[in-house]
A and B are shown apart, each in its own frame.
Chain A
Amino acid sequence: MNRLVLIFLLLPWALFAQEEVKVHAETSVKSFFLGEAFTLNVMVSGTENVKAPQMNVVNDFVVKKVSESAVSLNDKKGYIIRYKLLAKKDGNLVIPALGVKVNGALMETGEIKLEVKKPLTHKGLQVKVHLSQSEAFVGEPILATFILSSELPLYAFNAVDITYPFLTHYGFKVYDPHNSPKSGDKNSIGLPVSNTRIIALRGNEKRGDVNLDTITFKKILIPRVSGELIIKPATFLASYTPPEVKTNGKRNWQPQYPSHFNNNFFEEVEGKSYEKYFASSNELKLVIKDLPTKGKPVDFQGLVGKCEVSATAEPAIVEAGAPVSLRIVVDGHEYPAIPELPQLGQQLAFNRNFSIPSRQSPGRVENKTKLFLRTLRPLRTDVSEIPVIRIPYFDPQTETYGIAQTKAIALTVTPAKTVTAFDADLSDGKILKNKLEKNKEGIHHNSLSLAALKRQRLVSPLLLTAVFVPPLLYLLFLLITAESRLLLRDPVAARRKFAYKKFKSRLSSATDTESLEKIVRSYIADSFNLVSDAHTFAEIENKLPEKEALMKIYDVFDTRRFSKVSSTEDFSSLKKEAIRVISSLNGRMKNV
């Protein structure tokens, strides 16, 4: 029994022990220069139940988590957490043991020792960033020029990394100037800058007696936020291998693209001794002002800088639905790449009268102007012009808003002669139907009625009808069918009711005793289901609640029948008495 308990207790442990859990951390490099980023991998094998370590113990490095995923390590379950690290200082640094929660238990990685070397600086290696202005409005283009100048031959640099903070700064949109170098140009060179590739221009400069190699690129910055912006320095970090001196004394420059500069950041210079060089520009300060709200056009889209716009259209006479080519030229802006054409398809003036493709080609810069080509299709024959195209702008010189606009272009639209799909005689003989689909966009029309000045009913008549009409109809139905229902429910009572009704209606026709007798006898016969002229009082005597009064009337009838004597006065009193007795009898019989 004890053995059994022991086996039972050890069984989960044995099963667990099959998957041995290990935690390990390693870096991509052990020795590197300050400014170089490297990767730290925290690996766990044997389980996927892992919680990432707290990295606040890693004080000497800037840490950024890159990824975290479950993996298969040698057919075992595993987990890798990947970080990107950047040393904050040089010297011998340590990544301390990291606590990783594995299956709820805390496990530790080993310490990692790293050597961080300080890169060299060189007086002749300089980075400069020049801004066209230090104060601007939100949206106002600023030209930023990056210049790297070096006494050292540039072809001797490898593993280049340039950081240019404008490219990653949230406060700027960055554009290429219209005259930027192309990758195929003779002096162009590809640069790895802030994880992107930039085409720069290679050149030479003479400073005193020293020949300098230069690399320049320009960017247009459009500020997006106002305030005082401090821009971090642009930096240059690269490995330098001193070139071998050639016997003919010529430089071994290799201008073809891609050049030495288009290197991977981590690329090492294999088999050669090298030095790491670092250069940085000054920190820059920019004051960005908000645009004034006064006089701002309603359709202002943020363009800063004066410009002009003109348009031509072809053809001037067109069938409805046929294309009209619109050529729009934006001229006079200091940076022609910047002005954008408003979305014509989103302007009421255009989308109500023209069909405009949602995707339109971007403008292209030609001789300091920006050209936009648009295709419009007039929808109807009553379209008589291509409306004015407006480009509102803010002029930073005068600090006022202006509007560049084209002139309206006259257009003659003739009826379409083309056959539409709905006119076509389809081979299968079926008529093509236009399936109408409700457009849920837009808002519904205004009310022009003066009823808007009346107080509104809180509950709609439709609802009142829905609530009250069915029960009212029911009541009406009950009233109409009251007699039929009584006949079904209580035929005797119904017979009496009908007899009394008949009695009352016939009374007016009773002019003598004989006719009155007939009416009374008829009532009694109908009430008791007897024959009108063939029943005697004895037959009904036992069924009557008030027999004496009726008996008297029957006696009067019998007496008058035989005496044949009558007077108007007697008849009148007899009639009154008969009505009283029958009414009373009817009332009493209801309760029987």
Chain B
Amino acid sequence: MFKFFLFFTLSVSALLADDSARLEKANTLFEKASKAALSDPDKSKKFYKEAILNYQFLIDEQGYSSPELFTNTGNAYFFSGDLGLAIVNYQKALRLEPGNSDVLHNLKFVRAQVIDELPESMTEKVVRTIFFWHSWSLECRIVFFALFNLVLWSLLGLNHFKTIPRFTQYVFSSLFICLLMGTSLGVTISGWDNGVDGVITEKEVIARQGNGHIYEPAFMTPLHSGTEFSILDSRENWLYVELLDGSKCWLPKQSLTFID
């Protein structure tokens, strides 16, 4: 029994050491690629691709799943010129750690590089204006929530010793703000406000009005790598999707990569 335990422990340690070495190798390749980018773009791209292979091995084969790993993979994809897969990996990182400011920053920047311009729909604009605090950073909302949570419980505590004028008013105001911030935090953490199910990862794809090439294109121009969507329906090899501006179309599955 002891021998088995020893063998098991040593095997696990060896595997972990191997994975750590692979991660270090991937990180080193990334650094090499960044240095080569200043002198030899071809070599730099090669290093980025090797770094991606190593990161991807840890994710796909070894089953690791952490925001840092996905962010690194996304960064490598971005620098190697693949915006679509960069966005996929940033979105995966956000699934694990919603509101991570670094990932959000990277995602915002890479989205700005995507060819397809999808202006915000009117409904989204209205919702964003009404629930303006939801666009604050996660940290900012947590601080607000903490502050008013503290005020709420402090009021309840003080009330045992002292009569506080407008006590009920203050308590309900604090409670209300706590509820607003708490709900917003809950929505962010659960990912309800990020309805992206997938990203176009093919360089160019023609969106159709129906689930087949027989249908006319949905837009006058093709869609490009990096355009995000949420899935509405699925029929064989086609998906009915909604783009970030609210427009709907059918896309062939082989051109897409899914977040989950």
Contacts and interface: CB of A to CB of B under 8 A. Distances in A.
A466 B149 contact: yes
Contacts of B149: 466-467, 470-471
B150 to A, nearest CB: 5
Contacts of B44: 298
Interface string B226-253: 0000000000000000000000000000
A478 interface: yes
B105 interface: yes
Interface in A472-493: 473-474, 477-478, 481, 484-485, 488
Given A452-B23, A466-B142, A481-B161, A297 B42 contact: yes
A378 B44 CA distance: 23
Interface string B145-156: 110011011101
Contacts of B65: 455-456
Contacts of A488: 160-161
Interface in A442-470: 442-444, 446-456, 458-460, 462-463, 465-467, 469-470
B79 to A, nearest CB: 8
B123 interface: no
B66 A298 contact: no
Contact of B39 (A297, A298, A349, A447): A349
Nearest to A385: B39
B218 interface: no
Interface in A415-464: 440-444, 446-456, 458-460, 462-463
A228 B72 CA distance: 44
A348 interface: yes
B139 A462 contact: yes
Nearest to B103: A444
Q: Is the interface of B mostly helix, strand, loop or mixed?
A: helix
Interface in B1-56: 16, 19-20, 23-24, 27, 30, 37-39, 41-42, 44-45
A296 to B, nearest CB: 10
A446 B23 contact: no
Given A349-B38, A462-B142, A474-B156, A449 B150 contact: no
B67 interface: yes
Given A446-B30, A449-B68, A297 B146 contact: no
B163 to A, nearest CB: 12
Kindly state the interface size class of chain A when it binds its partner: 35 or more
Contact of B146 (A441, A443, A465): A465
Contacts of B45: 298
Given A387-B39, A466-B145, A477-B157, A443 B110 contact: yes
B106 interface: yes
Given A466-B146, A467-B149, A297 B69 contact: no
Interface string B123-151: 00000000000000011001101100110
A463 B138 CA distance: 9
B142 A463 contact: yes
B258 interface: no
Nearest to A349: B38
Contact of B109 (A298, A352, A443): A443
Contacts of B78: 443
A409 to B, nearest CB: 13
A456 B157 contact: no
A388 interface: yes
Given A298-B41, A446-B75, A453-B69, 16 more contacts: A297-B41, A298-B44, A442-B109, A444-B105, A447-B72, A450-B20, A450-B24, A462-B142, A463-B142, A466-B145, A470-B153, A471-B149, A478-B157, A481-B160, A484-B161, A485-B161
Query: Top 9 closest A-B pairs, CB basis?
Result: A466-B146, A452-B68, A447-B68, A474-B153, A470-B153, A443-B106, A349-B38, A470-B149, A444-B102
Interface of A: 297-299, 348-349, 352-353, 387-388, 390, 440-444, 446-456, 458-460, 462-463, 465-467, 469-471, 473-474, 477-478, 481, 484-485, 488
Interface of B: 16, 19-20, 23-24, 27, 30, 37-39, 41-42, 44-45, 58, 64-69, 71-72, 75, 78, 81, 96-97, 102, 105-106, 109-110, 138-139, 142-143, 145-146, 149-150, 152-154, 156-157, 160-161, 182, 185, 189
